[in-house]
Amino acid sequence: MGNIADKTIYQIYLRSFYDSNGDGVGDLPGITAKLDYLENLGVDLIWINPFYPSPQNDNGYDISDYTGVDPRFGTMEDFDTLVREAKKRSIGVMIDLVLNHTSTEHEWFQKALQGHPKYRDFYYFKKGKGDLPPTNWASKFGGSAWEKLASSDDFYLHLFDVTQADLNWSNPEVREALYQVVDFWTQKGIAGLRLDVLNLISKPDKLEDDFIGDGRRFYTDGPHIHEYLKELHAKTFGKKGLITVGEMSSTSIANSIRYSNPAEKELSMVFHFHHLKVDYKDGEKWQLDQVRFAELKELFHTWQVDMASGNGWDALFWNNHDQPRALGRFTSDKPEFHYQAATLLAATIHLMRGTPYIYMGEEIGMINPRFKDIQSYSDIETINHYQLLQKEGLSERETMEVIQARSRDNSRIPMQWENDAKAGFTTGTPLYPVSDSVSWINVQDALREPDSIFYFYKKLIEIRKTHSVIQFGNYTPYLVDEERIISYLRENEEATLLAIHYYGETPHEIPLPEAFLQGKILLSNVKRSQLAKQITLQSYETLAILLPK
């Protein structure tokens, strides 16, 4: 698989990245058209969200044909061209496979509905308790996780939307069929795989009511998960050395180590989400709370230290297509702090141990659009929760406040290429409304301005490649008692690196350790050029000092 420690991965939400044919929807040729931009940034791989045929109820995470290309995104030839052109620029393509569930329009599910016994056993069909579902499990998109068939007393399991039926991984035929899917794409020359909600694939042998929760404790990191991943690895990508990342919902450190320690032969790395729940109220995504900064810091430190001690490997990220932008969530997103806050967030994770991910637009500091009315939103989870919140009695204003903060559409709006009404994303009507912020946040300006967020990201990608301490150094939390600071030391045989990230808006004085006064400033977002025993940190300052051995 090569070295995963020196790489940076760029995530492309295909439908809103770049539209090459004017239909308002981003497409595969649109990515090919922007490869020079990505090469300039310096990323090693691009992760592309699902582009397979799909009714698009969950924007492609409801796949109806695993080995095709949805015509709205292009053709198989376009995909091959993209892989080829990317390779020329030393960029690998990472595809996104959804192996936990299929669309109910998938041939397998359709055959199951027709009563084909082989395909019945591809899914979870169960008798209900009268009209009540077989268990009390909840769908992650709201409501019950079971849907009753119109034609019989049977229900089928869907942990997500009703049109996303969970596959039965305990059936070896299902696993075999999915391995063939992985092989199909591997033969097309992909370099990596992002595997959607992968730690949910192993359901318990007996499906029972959960008297203390919504069922997730029964199937999260489920009973046969490691067995299945070892088999997946052995039968598919393990032979090819692909870079793999599993999306692991509510997972634990112990499991994450097993998923990603190379000796376990499961995956290269894991996405976990605990750090993105520190502004949930009582674990509830749709209830607003302040960011609990101490908890955020503690989570980073604990995961970094423990993953290293178990030789696990983290995917480092703040943003993706399911998250509101971190800029404006963990920091201010006001114009006067824009550069500093965006670069602070970036440096915080890019200097950690793991493989950093950049979500499209993050490298120019894109922010949440805060659309005023629900008509501007289209995500299925958002619409479901809009209705649920209204049912709970929240006023329109209160409901929209939650939607603006939490909707997944926040990050799904068009990539801001140019300062115009269509963000330079399309010549047609963009599928999502364009954010007003396009006037001051766009690629065109970022490329022209030598001190832009873009060039800071470029530098982060470069220094990871040139400094082995960033790749492999061990991790020790530092300045832990400083309330608004995330700081750590990285150390290996070549150097020690001290990173200080200040999440405050008012100047704040801290002492620097004597030894580091001889060090070199590797990174600063405030043009700091001098070190002293006492320094005064500026708003959202980030500072990294390198001390060679």
Supply the residues annotated as catalytic.
196, 247
> What is the per-residue binding string for ligand GLC in 386-405, x denoting contact by CB under 6 A?
--------------------
> What is the per-residue binding string for ligand GLC in 332-371, x denoting contact by CB under 6 A?
----------------------------------------
Binding of residue 145 to ligand GLC (CB under 6 A):
no
Whether 328 and 367 have beta carbons less than 8 Å apart is answered as: yes
In the complex, what is the shortest distance from the CB of residue 417 to ligand GLC, in angstroms, rounded to a whole number? 23
Whether 147 and 160 have beta carbons less than 8 Å apart is answered as: no
Residue nearest to ligand GLC (CB): 61
In the complex, what is the shortest distance from the CB of residue 187 to ligand GLC, in angstroms, rounded to a whole number? 25
Kindly tell me which residue out of 12, 69, 83, 98 binds ligand GLC, with binding defined by CB under 6 A. 98
| Site residues (CB under 6 A) for ligand GLC, limited to 21-80 | 58, 61
Binding of residue 330 to ligand GLC (CB under 6 A):
no
Query: Judging by DSSP bridges, how do beta strands 146-148 and 125-127 pair with one another?
Result: unpaired
Q: How many residues bind ligand GLC (CB under 6 A)?
A: 9
Query: Judging by DSSP bridges, how do beta strands 508-511 and 154-157 pair with one another?
Result: unpaired
Shorter beta-carbon distance to ligand GLC: residue 99 or 546: 99
In the complex, what is the shortest distance from the CB of residue 156 to ligand GLC, in angstroms, rounded to a whole number? 16
Distance separating alpha carbons of residues 256 and 264, to the nearest angstrom: 11
CB hemisphere CA count around 504 (13 angstroms):
15
Shorter beta-carbon distance to ligand GLC: residue 13 or 155: 13
Helices (H), 211-337: 216-219, 225-235, 253-260, 293-309
Shorter beta-carbon distance to ligand GLC: residue 60 or 473: 60
> What is the per-residue binding string for ligand GLC in 524-543, x denoting contact by CB under 6 A?
--------------------
Place of tokens 């008297």: 211
Distance separating alpha carbons of residues 397 and 413, to the nearest angstrom: 22
Shorter beta-carbon distance to ligand GLC: residue 322 or 445: 322
Distance separating alpha carbons of residues 95 and 459, to the nearest angstrom: 26
Query: Judging by DSSP bridges, how do beta strands 485-491 and 495-502 pair with one another?
Result: antiparallel
Binding of residue 322 to ligand GLC (CB under 6 A):
yes
In the complex, what is the shortest distance from the CB of residue 266 to ligand GLC, in angstroms, rounded to a whole number? 19
Helices (H), 73-170: 76-88, 107-113, 117-120
CB hemisphere CA count around 210 (13 angstroms):
15
Binding of residue 166 to ligand GLC (CB under 6 A):
no
Which residues are CB-neighbours of 74 under 8 A, at least 6 positions away?
A: 27, 28, 29, 51
In the complex, what is the shortest distance from the CB of residue 272 to ligand GLC, in angstroms, rounded to a whole number? 12
The two three-digit tokens of residue 177, written as one number = 């069929």
Shorter beta-carbon distance to ligand GLC: residue 69 or 98: 98
Give the residue among 10, 6, 5, 16 at the shortest CA–CA distance from 317: 10
> What is the per-residue binding string for ligand GLC in 245-264, x denoting contact by CB under 6 A?
--x-----------------
Residue type, 185: W
In the complex, what is the shortest distance from the CB of residue 269 to ligand GLC, in angstroms, rounded to a whole number? 16
Binding of residue 9 to ligand GLC (CB under 6 A):
no
Which residues are CB-neighbours of 494 under 8 A, at least 6 positions away?
A: 467, 468, 469, 548, 549
Shorter beta-carbon distance to ligand GLC: residue 81 or 250: 250
Binding of residue 160 to ligand GLC (CB under 6 A):
yes
| Site residues (CB under 6 A) for ligand GLC, limited to 198-237 | none
142 — alpha (psi -120 to 50), left (phi > 0) or beta? left
In the complex, what is the shortest distance from the CB of residue 395 to ligand GLC, in angstroms, rounded to a whole number? 28
CB hemisphere CA count around 18 (13 angstroms):
17
Q: Is the dihedral of CA 403, 404, 405, 409 positive or negative?
A: positive
Which residues are CB-neighbours of 444 under 8 A, at least 6 positions away?
A: 417, 418, 419, 424
Distance separating alpha carbons of residues 493 and 478, to the nearest angstrom: 19
Q: Cα 206 vs. chain centroid, distance in angstroms?
A: 31
Q: Cα 155 vs. chain centroid, distance in angstroms?
A: 31
In the complex, what is the shortest distance from the CB of residue 98 to ligand GLC, in angstroms, rounded to a whole number? 5
In the complex, what is the shortest distance from the CB of residue 319 to ligand GLC, in angstroms, rounded to a whole number? 12
Binding of residue 196 to ligand GLC (CB under 6 A):
yes
Binding of residue 197 to ligand GLC (CB under 6 A):
yes
Binding of residue 105 to ligand GLC (CB under 6 A):
no
In the complex, what is the shortest distance from the CB of residue 503 to ligand GLC, in angstroms, rounded to a whole number? 27
Whether 469 and 492 have beta carbons less than 8 Å apart is answered as: yes
Place of tokens 């503690």: 298
Binding interface with ligand GLC (CB under 6 A):
58, 61, 98, 160, 196-197, 247, 321-322
